[in-house]
Copies of this chain bind each other. A is one copy, B any other.
Amino acid sequence: MYRRPDVSATVPDTSALNEFEHALGADRVITSEDDLREWRDPFQFDSWDEYTASAVVMPESVEEVQEVVRIAGRHGVPLWTHSQGRNNGYGGPAPRVSGSVIVSLRRMNRVLEINEECAYAVVEPGVRWFDLYEALQAGGHKLMLSIADLGWGSVIGNTLDHGITYLPYGQDQQMQCGMEVVLADGSVMRTGMGALPGGKAWNVYKRGLGPTVDQLFMQSNYGIVTKMGVWLMPEPECYHPVWVRASRDSDLEPLVNTLRRLMLDGTIRGVPQIINTVLFGSMMSSRDQWWTGAGPIPDDEITRMGRELDIGRWMLRCALYGDEAVVDHQFAKLRAAFGAIDGVDVWGSKHAPADIPSLENPHERVMGGVPNLDLNQMTGWYGGEEGGHIGFSPIAPLTGRDASELRDLMRGMLAEAGLDYMASLLPVSARSFAHITMVIYDTKNEQQVRSAFDVSKRLVEQAAKQGYGEYRAHLDFMDLAARQYSWNDHAYMRFCETIKDAVDPRGILSPGKQGIWPKSMRGN
Interface residues of A (CB under 8 A from B): 117-120, 162, 168, 172-174, 177, 183, 187-191, 193-201, 204-220, 222, 231, 233-234, 236, 260-261, 264-266, 269, 321-323, 325-326, 329-330, 333, 395-399, 402, 428, 430-432, 464, 467-473, 481-482, 484-488, 491-493, 495-496, 498-499, 501-503, 514-516
Contacts and interface: CB of A to CB of B under 8 A. Distances in A.
A428 to B, nearest CB: 6
Contact of A120 (B168, B266, B431): B431
A330 B325 CA distance: 10
Nearest to A197: B487
B491 A495 contact: no
A470 B501 CA distance: 31
Contact of A189 (B177, B191, B488): B488
A261 B117 CA distance: 9
A183 B236 CA distance: 46
Contact of A431 (B204, B431, B491, B496): B204
Nearest to A393: B209
17 contacts: A162-B207, A183-B495, A187-B488, A194-B487, A195-B491, A196-B484, A197-B487, A201-B395, A204-B397, A207-B218, A209-B219, A209-B514, A211-B516, A213-B492, A216-B216, A498-B502, A502-B502
Copies in the complex: 2
Contact of A499 (B321, B499, B516): B499
Given A195-B485, A199-B487, A487-B194, A431 B118 contact: yes
Contacts of A198: 467
Classify the secondary structure of A's interface with B. mixed
Given A118-B397, A197-B486, A213-B492, 13 more contacts: A117-B260, A120-B431, A195-B487, A196-B468, A197-B487, A199-B469, A209-B484, A209-B485, A212-B218, A233-B264, A234-B261, A265-B323, A323-B329
A499 B496 contact: no
A479 to B, nearest CB: 11
A377 to B, nearest CB: 29
A198 B485 CA distance: 10
Nearest to A207: B162
A268 to B, nearest CB: 12
Nearest to A212: B215
Contacts of A188: 488, 491
A481 B209 contact: yes
A264 B115 CA distance: 13
Contacts of A118: 260, 397-399, 431
A47 B260 CA distance: 56
A71 to B, nearest CB: 20
A189 B395 contact: no
A245 to B, nearest CB: 25
Nearest to A478: B209
A190 B469 CA distance: 14
A210 B323 contact: no
